Structure 1
Amino acid sequence: MKALTANRLTDGEVVFWKDGRWVERFADAQLWAVDDPAAVEAEALGKGQGTTVVDVYLIDLVESEGLWAPLSYRERIRALGPTNHPHHGKQAEGGAVVEALQHASGAARSTGRVNLIKRK
C-alpha cells in the first residue's frame, strides 16, 4: 500500500492526500495498492500545487496491528509529530492509528522519498 504526503507551505505541517485535498492526519489519508495508477495521478496533481505544498511524494506502508503505517521510521515520525515528548504533536491525540504508528517496524526508505532525493 502507498499514501501521498507533502509539507504545507503556510506552516510546514505534514499533510496527506485524501480525495483531491490535503488532510493533516495520517488516519485520514487515502491509501492505494502499490501498482494503482491512481496513486501516480494523485502525486502528479499534488506536485502541481506548488503554491500550497512542497516535497510531494508517495510513501510505502506496512501493516501494523491490523492498520497501515509508514514503512520508514522517518515517515512514522512525520505522521506522529515531534519526538520531544509523547504529549506533543499528533501522537498526543492517541487512538488506534497512533498506536499502530508507534508500534510499526521497518527502517527502509520509502521509494517515493528516494526518487525525490534523486531528482534534486
Structure 2
Amino acid sequence: MTGTEPHDVPSAAQLVAAVRELLQSDVLPAVEGPVRFHTRVAVNVLAMVEREVELGPAQAREHAARLAGLGVADEAELAAAIRAGRLPDDERLLTALEAAVRAKLEVTDPAYLTAD
C-alpha cells in the first residue's frame, strides 16, 4: 500500500505541496501589490492544508480520546459542561484544553509554538 489508496500517486498532500511551492518560488517573486499579497495568503493557506492533511487524522483521534476521557462527545458538549460547572477545574481539563489549542496551532501557525 502507498497510503493513497484508493487514489493514485500523487497524494492530495503532494498536490497541495506542489502548488504551494510553485506559488512560492515562481509566482511570488514575479508579482507586486495586491497580487503579491493574495499570493502570500494562498501560500499560507496551502501550507495550513498540508499540515492538516498530515497531522489531522492523528490529532482528531487524540482529541476524541481526550474528550471521551472528560466524559463528553464533542467540543460543543465540552463547552456546555464547562459553562454548567459539570467538569472539575483540574489538571486533566487544563491539559485537554492546552492540547486542543496546541493541535490547532500546529496546523494554523506552528511558529507560535516556537516563539519566545
Q: Shorter-normalised TM-score: what interval?
A: under 0.3
**TM-score where L is the length of structure 2:** 0.21
**TM-score where L is the length of structure 1:** 0.21
Determine which structure has the larger helix proportion and give its number: 2
Determine which structure has the larger strand proportion and give its number: 1
Q: Compare CA radii of gyration and give the structure with the larger one.
A: 2
